[in-house]
Amino acid sequence: MAPTPFVPDNESERLRSLRAYDVLPTLIEPIFDEFVALTAQVFSLPISLIAVVEEAEVFYPANHGMPGNDRQRRAEALCSTAIEKARAVVYHDLLLETAATIPAEAALAAQQNELRFYAGALLRLPDQSPLGTLCIIDRQPRTFSATEQQVLDQLAALVSQAIAVRHACLYQSADGLEQWEQLRTQLQEELRELTALVRYLFTRHGVQIPVPAELLAQVERRLHDFRALLDEHQCS
């Protein structure tokens, strides 16, 4: 029997980890909506999503730019290809991709949704199981530089770390809920300050595609501050 598309060899272990960390309930928190809004703004793109790849469906609990798109059959979701390949994926022009890279159902769904560009960075649980992606999407083809991919990977790593820290707070610490609520407030302040910085940079320098490395370097410096805040609050 031919292997089922999009399913990695360690699928059972991956799904167990996904559920053990309460991923979907975690991502309903508004802070993750702020993450995807920031991600879209960093790359000057209309759409950014957090995708959770479940057994038969892909859920989009944090969604910027595609209202009403809360779930999709796994076979139709571009995010599933990242899980299968166990790495970040970039499709510069979805109309030019072949069946070797995007199966027919996913290609058709992208065409029906008028999507042309997709880039997804893996979200990982503490045991390194991939739970889904942080992705950015455009309705026209787009270049995507190595520096842009690096920043998308960093944003995905921060989302992954925030999921892990929230779980540690709520399930491994007696006063974890209070700790998490305090940390969440600090994280949201950092996100809003970073969003304001990105807005200022693009107002001053204009929107350029790909985003210039010198602008992204300023974003990366603030992302390091965000990571330091998460590192300081492991809720143990």
> What's the pLDDT tens digit per position in 33-58?
999 999 999 999 999 999 999 999 99
CB 73 within 8 A of CB 57: yes
Confidence at residue 1, expressed as pLDDT on a 0 to 100 scale: 32
Burial readout 61-93 (b: 16 or more C-beta within 10 A, e: otherwise): bbbbbeeeeeebebbbbbbbbbbbeeebbbbee
Confidence at residue 195, expressed as pLDDT on a 0 to 100 scale: 94
Instruction: Please state at what angle helix 176-205 crosses helix 146-172, rounded to 10 degrees.
Output: 160
The type of residue at 66 is: M
Which runs of consecutive H residues, i.e. helices, occur in 206-235?
Answer: 213-232
Residue 83 and residue 191: Cα distance in Å, rounded?
27
**Domain map of the chain by residue range?**
10-232
| CATH architecture label of 10-232 | 2-Layer Sandwich (3.30)
CB 140 within 8 A of CB 209: no
The type of residue at 222 is: R
- Which parts of the chain have pLDDT scores under 50? 1-4
Confidence at residue 38, expressed as pLDDT on a 0 to 100 scale: 96
Cα distances from 112 to residues 85, 109, 197, in angstroms, run: 24, 5, 35
Residue 219 and residue 96: Cα distance in Å, rounded?
32
48 forms bridges with which residues in the sheet? 64, 136
Confidence at residue 99, expressed as pLDDT on a 0 to 100 scale: 75
Burial readout 101-121 (b: 16 or more C-beta within 10 A, e: otherwise): ebbebbbebbeebebbbbbbb
Candidates 151, 118, 130, 158; CA nearest to 52 is 130
Q: What is the pLDDT of residues 96-133, one digit of tens each?
A: 988 778 989 999 999 999 999 999 999 999 999 999 99
CB 56 within 8 A of CB 100: no
Residue 105 and residue 107: Cα distance in Å, rounded?
5
Residue 141 and residue 219: Cα distance in Å, rounded?
24
Residue 196 CB contacts under 8 Å (≥ 6 apart), including other chains: none
